[in-house]
Amino acid sequence: MSEQIILETRNLTKGFKGFTAVDNVNLKIQRGQIHALIGPNGAGKTTVFNLLTKYLTPSSGQILFKGQDITALEASAIAQLGLVRSFQISAVFPRLTVLENVRIALQRKEGNSFQFWKSDKVLERLNPRAEALLADVGLLDFAQATTLDLPYGRKRALELATTLALDPEMLLLDEPTQGMGHEDVAVVAALIKKVSAERTILMVEHNLHVVSQLADRITVLQRGAVLTEGDYATVSADPRVKEAYLGVAADEEVAA
């Protein structure tokens, strides 16, 4: 059973000067699932993400990835273990080309990233793989474009391609459809579904329609603590969840 749990938190807590943002959170993420973290604004979802990937240091509690305690590791070391995150605001390298963005991710495993005496032409052998990844997210035609010039939805697609270039075992997606138009949301949702085939995904998402489509399991956070957990039907039927959202959840469902 324990092998089925890829990521686990034990009494994860984070306090900021007299305010507890994350309060004794115990999460167990099953390998191969899409697990969604939802909750009203300020519930601590992004803080949990930052704790899991060590962009913040927990006040107390433990984080285990594949059974290994990663609580004390550095952010870059966690990424090297195969737990890779995305960001709420699209995280790209704006003044590099689209192709270079993906290549940066592929480059790390080449082990030449400290070689300042070699020409960057050696990176060109990564181009076919980078192009294949771009093709997967429909960006191949933009390979040579400067990333800055891409529309928002495409930047998010690029971010996903870059993340996938690391071939991570587990992905943490922070609001992957945030700020997107209707069509882009559908495209990204389909992409997430596609890449989830061989991976585990933990995502924070406000769009409950997307959550209902994708998530195998949902954890609801409220004021930093776990309110409830279960599949979409269970969670959406829970009166406490509706109350937490002040009825917003029910309305959004109708709207979607």
Partner 1 sequence: MEFIKSNKFNIILIALALVIPFGVYPVFLMKVLCFGLFAAAFNLMLGFVGMLSFGHAAFLATGGYVTGYLMSNADLTPELGILCGTLASAVLGYLFGSLSVKREGIYFAMVTLALSQLLFFFFLQAPFTEGENGLQGIPRGKLFGFIDLNNNLSMYYFVLAVFLLGFWLIYRSVHSPFGQVLKAIRENEPRAISLGYSVRQYKLMAFVLSAALSGLAGSTKALVFQLESLTDAHWQMSGEVVLMTLVGGMGTIFGPLVGAAVVVGIENFFSGGELGTYIHIIMGLIFIICVLAFRNGIVGEFNKFVKNNF
Residues that bind partner 1 (CB under 8 A): 53, 55, 74-77, 79-80, 84-87, 91-96, 100, 103-105, 107-108, 110, 112-120, 122-123, 162, 166
The label of the residue with tokens 């115990």 reads 26
Nearer to partner 1, 56 or 192 (CB): 56
Query: CB of 236: closest distance to partner 1 in angstroms?
Result: 32
Nearer to partner 1, 17 or 118 (CB): 118
Nearer to partner 1, 32 or 82 (CB): 82
Query: CB of 78: closest distance to partner 1 in angstroms?
Result: 8
Query: CB of 107: closest distance to partner 1 in angstroms?
Result: 6
Positive or negative: CA dihedral 230, 250, 204, 135: positive
Among residues 20, 24, 19, 21, the alpha carbon closest in space to that of 9 is found at: 24
Nearer to partner 1, 88 or 212 (CB): 88
Query: CB of 101: closest distance to partner 1 in angstroms?
Result: 8
The label of the residue with tokens 């899409």 reads 34
Q: Exposed e or buried b for every residue in 141-154, given b needs 16+ CB within 10 A?
A: ebbeeebeebeebb
Distance in angstroms (rounded) separating the CA atoms of residues 27 and 219 = 8
Q: Is 61 helix (H, G, I), strand (E, B) or coil?
A: strand
Nearer to partner 1, 60 or 112 (CB): 112
Q: Exposed e or buried b for every residue in 48-57, given b needs 16+ CB within 10 A?
A: bbbbbbbebe
Strand 170-174 with 200-204, pairing: parallel
Distance in angstroms (rounded) separating the CA atoms of residues 135 and 127 = 12
Query: CB of 135: closest distance to partner 1 in angstroms?
Result: 20
Nearer to partner 1, 42 or 94 (CB): 94
Distance in angstroms (rounded) separating the CA atoms of residues 138 and 193 = 15
DSSP secondary structure code for residue 167 in this structure: -
Query: CB of 44: closest distance to partner 1 in angstroms?
Result: 19
Nearer to partner 1, 77 or 135 (CB): 77
Distance in angstroms (rounded) separating the CA atoms of residues 178 and 156 = 10
Query: CB of 114: closest distance to partner 1 in angstroms?
Result: 6
The answer to whether 83 touches 168, Cβ cutoff 8 Å, is: yes
